[in-house]
């Protein structure tokens, strides 16, 4: 019905669905798979709230997630937008790390927000989705492409197959660019955490423990990092943080 501009409609629907899912996930979807309980009052909660006030970051809540149900990996993440922002701490993170280290992890996540990384990643995701739908529209409506494969008539099903085959190198290029941006963001967030907490050593200690719990490869091949890593190897992050101490 939309003709050559159908890809724009599909793009708009996909973006709207993605944004809506991000907004409702903290309250309706994530609790279906894990339990979230408010962090009890104590030194850790007070330390996290004190840090958030110090840097002017508003939190609607601090929750503990039962991540140990599926993994021994420690983690923390933000959910929600605006005034609905809340932080979820894995119970494994609280168990294995001291207060200074957890504050450093929080500071790292706050750094992503303060540096605009979350908005940048969202914008890049929207652009990438638009590229996918635009290229799909080209592949599915190109008589020359079908003729190149020996087909006299266009076909939606064949067009999807051609798109999957031909989009692979495009996806690789976009992935490499996205990973490079993501790695740069991680360094910036680490530096923000070190500067605002005043204790780079706490972030270093947290990275060491997180690497040990996940059995992370500390020295992957540079080409592997360039192609596949959205986060810099822990050893490189530790070296960058150590340089801030000197």
pLDDT digits (tens, 9 = 90+) for 93-145: 999 999 999 999 999 999 999 999 988 999 999 999 999 999 888 887 788 88
Please give the Cα distance from 105 to 89 (Å, whole number): 10
Q: Contact 94/44 with Cβ under 8 angstroms?
A: yes
Catalytic: which of 49, 109, 144, 188? 109
What pLDDT is attached to residue 1?
52
Catalytic residue among 96, 101, 186, 190: 190
Whether 188 is catalytic is no
Between residues 55 and 245, the one the model is more confident about? 55
Comparing CA positions, the residue from 44, 22, 153 lying closest to residue 89 is 44
pLDDT at position 240 is: 96
CA angle 176, 184, 44 (to 5 degrees): 125
| Whether 190 is catalytic | yes
- What pLDDT is attached to residue 58? 86
Do the beta carbons of residue 202 and residue 104 sit within 8 Å? yes
Q: Taking all residues of the chain, what is their mean pLDDT, rounded to a whole number? A: 88
Q: Pick 222 or 216 by higher pLDDT.
A: 222
Paired with 37 in beta bridges are 64
How many of the other CB atoms lie within 10 Å of CB of 73? Answer: 16
Q: In whole angstroms, what is the distance from residue 191 CA to residue 231 CA?
A: 14
Q: Give the predicted TM-score (pTM) of the model.
A: 0.87
139 vs 228, more confident: 228
Every domain range in the chain assigned CATH 3.30.2010.10: 3-114
- The class of domain 3-114 in CATH terms is alpha beta
The Cα–Cα gap between 15 and 75 comes to 27
Q: For 55-77, write each residue's pLDDT tens digit.
A: 999 888 899 998 888 777 778 88
**Region 151-175 average pLDDT:** 85
pLDDT at 45 over 90: yes
Beta strands in 54-131 (DSSP E): 62-65, 76-79, 86-90
pLDDT tens-digit readout, 74-89: 788 877 666 667 788 9
pLDDT for 179: 96
Query: Coil, strand or helix: which one is 1?
Result: coil
């Amino acid at each position: 019905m939309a003709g050559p501009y159908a890809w724009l409609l599909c793009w708009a629907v996909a973006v709207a669905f993605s944004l809506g899912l991000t907004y409702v996930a903290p309250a309706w979807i994530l609790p279906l798979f894990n339990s979230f309980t408010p962090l009890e009052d104590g030194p850790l909660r007070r330390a996290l709230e004190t840090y958030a006030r110090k840097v002017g970051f508003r939190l609607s809540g601090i929750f503990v997630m039962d991540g140990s149900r599926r993994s021994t990996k420690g983690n923390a993440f933000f959910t929600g937008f605006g005034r609905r922002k809340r932080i979820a701490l894995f119970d494994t993170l609280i168990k294995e790390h001291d207060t200074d280290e957890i504050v450093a992890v929080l500071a790292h996540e706050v750094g992503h927000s303060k540096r605009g990384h979350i908005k940048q990643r969202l914008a890049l995701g929207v652009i990438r989705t638009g590229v996918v739908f635009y290229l799909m529209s080209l592949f599915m409506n190109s008589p020359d492409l079908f003729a190149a494969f020996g087909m006299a008539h266009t076909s939606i099903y064949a067009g999807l197959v051609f798109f999957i085959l031909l989009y692979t190198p495009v996806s690789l290029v976009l992935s490499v660019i996205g990973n490079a941006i993501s790695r740069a963001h991680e360094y910036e967030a680490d530096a923000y955490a070190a500067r605002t907490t005043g204790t780079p050593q706490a972030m270093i200690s947290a990275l060491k423990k997180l690497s040990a719990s996940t059995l992370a490869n500390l020295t992957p091949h540079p080409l592997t990092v360039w192609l596949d890593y959205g986060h810099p190897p822990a050893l490189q992050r530790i070296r960058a943080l150590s340089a801030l101490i000197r």
